[in-house]
Structure 1
């Protein structure tokens, strides 16, 4: 089930994105990117519709996935 990012409380959304970023351990190249910047990048991707928030009832978990993977 897809959850609209703008239906989530701001603090909760930030923590969700932060958890996702820390869990993913994405490599941003030679320069270290601050956590705040990574969170803002994911938020921008949500706002642009490139990624979506998906809730899995089966696994009782929330994840951020590319929009193309949600259909």
Structure 2
């Protein structure tokens, strides 16, 4: 099930930021998250939020797996 962007805006900011950070961690090939400074991290979070707003990224909840994750829209189950 896809979570609408409007519903995401009702979450506490820290919850949404943590979801975005988790997504960004999965995108790093070398796993060196510590190498990102705070400015680069904030820029990445902003870019991810814009992609969510545009629908390029979506938040998908899986009842079967009881999990929630950010995914590229093209990779979703409902696509």
TM-score calculated relative to the size of structure 2: 0.69
CA RMSD of aligned residues (A): 2.0
Deviations 1:21-55 (A, max 9, x none): 1233158xxxx671111111110101111111001
Q: Which runs of 5+ in 2 are unaligned?
A: 31-35
Q: CA deviation at 1:7?
A: 1.0
Task: Look up the match of 1:56.
Answer: 62
Q: Distance in 1 between matches of 2:7 and 2:25?
A: 23
Task: Look up the match of 1:16.
Answer: 19
Kindly report which structure 2 residues correspond to 1:36-47, keeping only aligned pairs within 5 A, or say none.
36-47=42-53
TM-score calculated relative to the size of structure 1: 0.75
